[in-house]
């Protein structure tokens, strides 16, 4: 068992994540199985669209299986994670470019690798339990799986804010930020799936869709656009420090808990991508950081503090973003030569 169920139901290719006991955390075999399904259905005339959902009440997918990644690296095996990320990103790009509709139904926790599966298709559905985030800076990583592509395209400075802080989005914020398209009450999801499988037509989504709920996060849009318009992470923190608002104080506290190197690198990655990135360029840049994140970065320490020892006291190499040099960020994002991520590999 790979933790993923692949089958055809009516006119729909069905992909269901089935590791609810670990919040459907994504591992390498699941990535490969999902990719094989996409490859098989691409030219299959019997499959009109693809539906991706997940079992369990708590999560669509809480992210990648970082525990196994951490353990293999403690034994000096950095290639395990590198191969996983390389293949995962290829799968993410295939979802993004799939020639048929891809409908994802994302309930509960949707983070990291879950965003990579659910947020690059053509019809992205959220419900009342959806809590979506890219919290990688908190563990010494950067928003990956195409996360920087989505963040760079978000309106105003919302993408930079979400990428640096890892703030959780409810369904309204996920739609406003461009991570999702439709709000459908979760009690309607079984009927929607049945209609999609019967008709092969995503127009059924409109019938079940409902008004998007208000999201408290969006009440601070003007403040976010003002404070995160600064040219780099250091200037953002300075702007937050000088602003007396309670929102700024809370945001500043969050940023100071995250890896300074990850915060600075994420800001620089979004700057380099610009407002009109391509998915392939975003993934290639992300891979440069993730490739180095264990051996040269701070992922091992971040996972130790958050998941292994759970002391929530990461010992980052830098005391603050002021201590991170541009040269260090450039080194994490430098080309990898023969190891560079390329979509055709």
Burial of 310 (C-beta count, 10 Å sphere; 0-12/13-18/19+)? exposed
Distance, in Å, from the CA atom of 209 to the CA atom of 192, rounded to the nearest integer, reads 10
Distance, in Å, from the CA atom of 303 to the CA atom of 173, rounded to the nearest integer, reads 27
- Which of 273, 261, 12 is CA-nearest to residue 147? 273
Q: Bridge partners of 26?
A: 64
Distance, in Å, from the CA atom of 122 to the CA atom of 277, rounded to the nearest integer, reads 17
Q: Which two tokens stand for residue 283?
A: 């993934």
Q: Which two tokens stand for residue 50?
A: 């693809």
**Cα distances (angstroms) measured from residue 325 to each of 40, 83, 168, 264, 266:** 46, 29, 29, 9, 14
Catalytic residues: 64, 113, 136, 144
Distance, in Å, from the CA atom of 275 to the CA atom of 159, rounded to the nearest integer, reads 10
Contact indicator for 307, 66 with CB cutoff of 8 Å: yes
Contact indicator for 52, 104 with CB cutoff of 8 Å: yes
Contact indicator for 12, 200 with CB cutoff of 8 Å: yes
Distance, in Å, from the CA atom of 208 to the CA atom of 138, rounded to the nearest integer, reads 36
HSE on the CB side for 294, CA within 13 Å? 22
Question: Residues 6 or more apart from 150 whose CB is under 8 A from it?
Answer: 115, 119, 159, 177, 178, 179
């Amino acid at each position: 068992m790979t933790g993923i169920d692949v089958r055809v139901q009516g006119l729909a290719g069905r992909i269901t994540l089935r590791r609810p006991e670990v919040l459907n955390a994504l591992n390498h075999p699941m990535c490969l199985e999902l990719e094989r399904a996409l490859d098989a259905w691409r030219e299959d005339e019997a499959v009109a669209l693809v539906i991706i959902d997940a079992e369990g009440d708590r999560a669509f997918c809480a992210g990648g299986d970082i525990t196994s990644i951490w353990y293999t690296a403690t034994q000096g095996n950095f290639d395990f994670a590198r191969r996983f990320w390389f293949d995962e990103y290829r799968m993410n790009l295939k979802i993004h470019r799939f020639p048929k509709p891809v409908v994802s139904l994302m309930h509960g926790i949707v983070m990291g690798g879950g965003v990579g599966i659910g947020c690059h298709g053509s019809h992205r559905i959220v419900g009342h339990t959806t809590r979506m985030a890219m919290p990688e800076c908190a563990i010494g990583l950067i928003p990956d799986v195409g996360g920087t592509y989505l963040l760079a395209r978000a309106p105003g400075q919302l993408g930079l804010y979400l990428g640096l802080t890892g703030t959780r989005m409810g369904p309204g914020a996920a739609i406003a930020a461009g991570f999702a398209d439709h709000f459908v009450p979760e009690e309607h999801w079984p009927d929607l799936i049945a209609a999609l499988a019967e008709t092969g037509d995503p127009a059924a989504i409109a019938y079940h869709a409902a008004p998007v709920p208000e999201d408290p996060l969006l009440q601070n849009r003007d403040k976010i656009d003002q404070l995160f318009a600064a040219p780099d992470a250091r200037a953002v923190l300075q702007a937050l420090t000088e602003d007396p608002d309670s929102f700024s104080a809370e945001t500043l506290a969050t940023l100071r808990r995250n890896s300074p190197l990850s915060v600075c690198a994420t800001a620089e990655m979004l700057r380099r991508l610009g407002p009109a990135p391509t998915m392939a360029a975003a993934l290639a840049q992300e891979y440069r950081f993730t490739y180095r994140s264990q051996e040269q970065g701070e992922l091992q320490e971040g996972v130790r503090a958050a998941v292994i020892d759970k002391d929530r006291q990461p010992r980052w190499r830098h005391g603050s973003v002021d201590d991170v040099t541009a040269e260090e960020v450039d080194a994490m994002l430098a080309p990898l030569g023969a190891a560079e991520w390329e979509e055709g590999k």
